[in-house]
Amino acid sequence: ERTVVLITGCSSGIGLGLAVRLASDASRRFKVYATMRNLAQKERLLECVRGCHASTLEILQLDVTDPLSLAAAAQRVQERRVDVLVCNAGVGLMGPLEICSYQAMKTVFDVNVFGTIGTIQTFLPGMKRRKAGKIIISSSVGALQGVPFNAVYCASKFAVEGLCESLAVVLQQFNVHVTLIECGPLNTSFLANLQSTDAEGSALQVLDSQTRALYSQYLQHCQSLFRDAAQDTEEVLQVFLEAIHSPCPPLRCFPTQFFMPLTRLKLASPDGSEYIRAMHKFVFAATEAPSNQADTSESNPAVREQGTGLE
């Protein structure tokens, strides 16, 4: 019997890649329901599978923020069961908190938090009844540790961690496995798809100059981080595939070890001070503030001795 997989957010990135990998499995072990909010964007996915496995892939409309759309998609699953549910749909939001509009923050929580909860609620009863199932979440390093200027995004991803860790305790009794894939920076359209902080795009001007300078340092850091440390989607997909194939996948999987030293600091120093110090150094020490230009990272003993805090 084929494994029925339903994936949210398949018009691009991880969702698209995973749908393609599973639908083109040489032994045709999977039936993939690749879902997306807007079916007008299905061409890329269709191109990638090139119609060679028509029986292994079905594309469905699914907006995770719309309960009616969720219910309708569930109705269209011919097998009447989902063995593996991949909650992948998500949006980012970057910027100083003071300029994040209510609308932008609400979208992030609607998609990342309530969308994930609604998707799980839709398919959980069936999994519990059958005493079998896997729920796999596209989570983030930013779900475990705060990242400057990503406060609202991290808040939404932290929320999903709490959700899943709580669920996992109960669901082990039902043989349902919850797995968070803690992705680091990835070469997808995620950055291009960020929610913008405010409707007019002019809010940065109202910020104090210190915050503006820090934010521009952060953006520089972000650019070099994506250049140096971003993983290819294929590498990360491998971790999703392992979780799908494993009879008993763990609660958390880490496609990259890059952030592990920072992640560990949170436990090593529970009062939070060491993490905050290390993250501050990681983001702001390498790129100097304009007022400190003489003190470059090479001449900065803190950076020379302790590096980025990540090694």
* Residues marked as catalytic: 153
63 contacts ligand NAD (rule: CB under 6 A): yes
| 83-91, 201-209, 249-257, 275-283 -> range binding ligand NAD (CB under 6 A) | 83-91
| 75-83, 178-186, 203-211, 287-295 -> range binding ligand NAD (CB under 6 A) | 178-186
Strand partners, 60: 35
Strands 176-183 and 252-253: parallel
Residue 153: C-alpha distances to residues 51, 55, 117, 131 (Å): 36, 37, 16, 33
- How far apart, in whole angstroms, are the C-alpha atoms of residue 141 and residue 157? 9
64 contacts ligand NAD (rule: CB under 6 A): yes
Q: Which of 18, 32, 86, 138 forms a contact with ligand NAD (CB under 6 A)?
A: 138
122 contacts ligand NAD (rule: CB under 6 A): no
145 contacts ligand NAD (rule: CB under 6 A): no
- How far apart, in whole angstroms, are the C-alpha atoms of residue 244 and residue 242? 5
- Coil, helix or strand at residue 58: strand
Q: Which of 91, 94, 151, 283 forms a contact with ligand NAD (CB under 6 A)?
A: 91
Q: Find the shortest distance in angstroms from Cβ 57 to ligand NAD.
A: 16
Q: Which of 24, 61, 65, 216 forms a contact with ligand NAD (CB under 6 A)?
A: 65
- How far apart, in whole angstroms, are the C-alpha atoms of residue 20 and residue 48? 7
Binding mask 1-40 toward ligand NAD (x if CB under 6 A, else -) reads -------xx-xxxxx---------------------x---
Q: Which of 193, 211, 287, 306 forms a contact with ligand NAD (CB under 6 A)?
A: 193
197 contacts ligand NAD (rule: CB under 6 A): no
Residue 186: C-alpha distances to residues 49, 140, 141, 160, 291 (Å): 22, 10, 11, 19, 32
- How far apart, in whole angstroms, are the C-alpha atoms of residue 236 and residue 105? 27
Residue 128: C-alpha distances to residues 133, 134, 138, 247, 252 (Å): 8, 11, 22, 16, 21
Question: Are the C-beta atoms of 120 and 87 separated by less than 8 Å?
Answer: yes
- How far apart, in whole angstroms, are the C-alpha atoms of residue 69 and residue 74? 9
Binding mask 290-309 toward ligand NAD (x if CB under 6 A, else -) reads --------------------
Closest to ligand NAD by CB, 62 or 135: 62
Q: Find the shortest distance in angstroms from Cβ 231 to ligand NAD.
A: 8
Contacts with ligand NAD: how many residues (CB under 6 A)?
27
Q: Find the shortest distance in angstroms from Cβ 114 to ligand NAD.
A: 10
Amino acid letter for position 300: N
Q: Which residues lie near ligand NAD (CB under 6 A)? A: 8-9, 11-15, 37, 62-65, 88-91, 111, 115, 138, 140, 183, 185-186, 188-190, 193
